[in-house]
């Protein structure tokens, strides 16, 4: 059993949890993920590791309350336990030697995964510009954390209610066009965001790493659920990734595959909400 040692709502639908998992905390590296299961009937849900504390033996996850399982997890509190917390899974992000300047782009809740990448680069002595994009001011997360690991932080909001108005791609283009030279761009967020960042950087010939979030089941390369096409080749995000070269990823296929169970997930969530509503009103 894995104990929740800290819980914090980062915005009304994004939750941070620190989980006591000393063996994972000991080995975890930026870019890797865990799979959790709340109880013996629970779904297996992958979440990228947002942070870890080797000394205290804790692993931080940050997730959006999107479906039944994340809703169920969000109802647990400090001191509660979950049944399974397996990891670290996946290949850690590999940054080549000699990188001097990097742009780390986070989109919405994807910022939770962009943060450890920015931190890892910063700790290597790389100069890091972070661009973090959100729909509006009310859902901005991790601003102080990003400030601590970057040389420049640009927050964008789609509606202009905070920071710079526009998408992350607008801010990135402006920085590049004003003469900032990046050795690498890391982009993590919704699939369209990663696609359009990659299309932008392709034109400038800047290496771009994306972290893919396909449907996963076993997380060990057995089920094929996380199949993605990269450079015309079949890859499995759980064992070959989740990081890939953004210029080679077939994002349209990823978007199609990710929407396969959208209706079923919606039904499950609605059923759970009705059930819980009934229990609370009983
Ligand atoms: P969102 O839709 O609010 O977008 C966040 C930001 O991304 C926007 O503010 C904008 O700056 C940028 N963006 C979005 N669409 C864009 C486009 N077409 N072109 C350029 N920039 C664009 O994000 P959200 O609702 O917080 O994110 C939820 C999505 O992120 C879910 O689909 C989830 O599956 C995905 N996600 C991905 C990862 C990952 O590992 N890649 C991790 C967590 C969440
Ligand atoms: Fe099953 Fe990757 S999650 S092969």
* Average pLDDT of the chain, as a whole number: 92
Q: Which of 127, 261, 109 is nearest to 193 (CA)?
A: 109
**Any residues with Cβ below 6 Å from ligand 2, and which?**
216-219, 221-226, 236, 238
**CA-to-CA distance for 228 and 166, rounded, in angstroms?**
29
Burial of 280 (0-12, 13-18, 19+ CB in 10 A): exposed
Give residue 59 CA to ligand 1 midpoint distance, Å.
23
Mean pLDDT of 191-200: 98
The pLDDT of residue 271 is above 70? no
The domain at 101-211 falls in which architecture?
3-Layer(aba) Sandwich (3.40)
Cα 257 to Cα 235: distance, rounded to the nearest angstrom:
14
Residue ranges of domains in the chain? 2-89, 101-211
* Res. 63 pLDDT band, cuts 50 70 90: very high
Pick the closest to residue 63 from 141, 147, 149, 163 (CA basis).
141
Give residue-wise pLDDT tens across range 43-57. 888 999 999 999 999
Ramachandran sector of residue 6 (left: φ over 0; alpha: ψ -120 to 50; beta: rest) = beta
**Confidence at residue 275, expressed as pLDDT on a 0 to 100 scale:** 67
| Residue 280 clears pLDDT 80, i.e. is over it | no
CA-nearest residue for atom 1, ligand 2, is 223
| Ligand 1 center to 212 CA (angstroms) | 12
What is the SS3 assignment for 29-60?
Answer: CCCCEEEEECCCCCCCEEEEEEEEECCCCEEE
Average pLDDT for 182-206: 97
**pLDDT at residue 191, as a whole number:** 96
Q: Which residue has the tokens 């870890």?
A: 52
CA-to-CA separations, 56 to 52, 79, 123, 137, 236, in angstroms, rounded:
9, 16, 20, 33, 32
C-alpha dihedral, 16 to 22 to 24 to 29, nearest 10°:
80
Note the pLDDT tens digit of each residue in 140-181. 999 999 999 999 999 999 999 999 999 999 999 999 999 999
pLDDT grade for 262, boundaries at 50, 70 and 90: low
Residue carrying structure tokens 């169920």: 72
The pLDDT assigned to 264 comes to 67
Rounded distance, CA 242 to CA 87, Å?
14
Q: Which residues contact 10 (CB under 8 A, 6 or more apart)?
A: 16, 62, 141, 142
User: Hey, whose CA ends up nearest to atom 30 of ligand 1?
Assistant: 190
Q: Does pTM top 0.85 for this prediction?
A: yes
Q: Which residues contact 258 (CB under 8 A, 6 or more apart)?
A: 191, 213, 214, 215
Q: Over pLDDT 90: what percentage of the chain?
A: 81
Distance in Å, CA 129 to ligand 1 centroid: 19
Residue 278 has pLDDT above 70, yes or no: no
CATH number belonging to the domain at 2-89, selected among 2.40.30.10, 3.40.50.720, 3.30.70.890, 1.25.40.10: 2.40.30.10
Q: Which residues contact 233 (CB under 8 A, 6 or more apart)?
A: none
Least confident of 136-140, 145-149, 274-278: 274-278
Does residue 34 have a pLDDT over 80? yes
State residue 265's pLDDT score: 64
């Amino acid at each position: 059993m894995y104990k929740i040692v800290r819980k914090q709502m980062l915005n009304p639908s994004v939750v941070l949890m620190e989980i006591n998992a000393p063996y994972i905390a000991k080995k975890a590296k930026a870019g890797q993920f865990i799979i959790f299961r709340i109880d013996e009937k629970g779904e297996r849900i992958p979440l990228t590791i947002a942070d870890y504390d080797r000394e205290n033996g804790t692993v931080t996850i940050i997730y959006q309350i999107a479906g039944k399982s994340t809703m169920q997890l969000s109802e647990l509190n400090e001191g509660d336990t979950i049944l399974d917390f397996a990891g670290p899974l996946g290949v850690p992000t590999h940054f080549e030697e000699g990188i001097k300047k990097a742009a780390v782009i986070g989109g919405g809740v994807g910022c939770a995964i962009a943060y450890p990448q920015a931190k890892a680069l910063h700790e290597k002595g790389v100069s890091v510009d972070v661009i973090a994009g959100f729909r509006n001011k009310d859902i901005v997360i991790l601003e102080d954390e990003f400030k601590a690991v970057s040389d420049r932080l640009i927050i964008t909001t789609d509606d202009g209610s905070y920071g710079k108005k526009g998408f992350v791609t607008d801010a990135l283009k402006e920085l590049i066009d004003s003469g900032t030279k990046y050795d690498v761009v890391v982009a993590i967020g919704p699939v369209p965001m990663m696609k359009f960042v990659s299309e932008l950087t392709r034109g400038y010939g800047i290496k771009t790493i994306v972290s893919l979030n396909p449907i996963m089941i076993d997380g060990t390369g057995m089920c094929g659920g996380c199949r993605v096409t990269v450079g015309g080749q079949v890859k499995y995000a759980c064992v070959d990734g989740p990081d890939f070269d953004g210029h080679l990823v077939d994002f349209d296929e990823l978007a199609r595959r990710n929407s396969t169970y959208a209706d079923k997930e919606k039904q499950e969530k609605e059923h759970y909400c009705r059930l819980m509503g009934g229990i609370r009103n009983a």
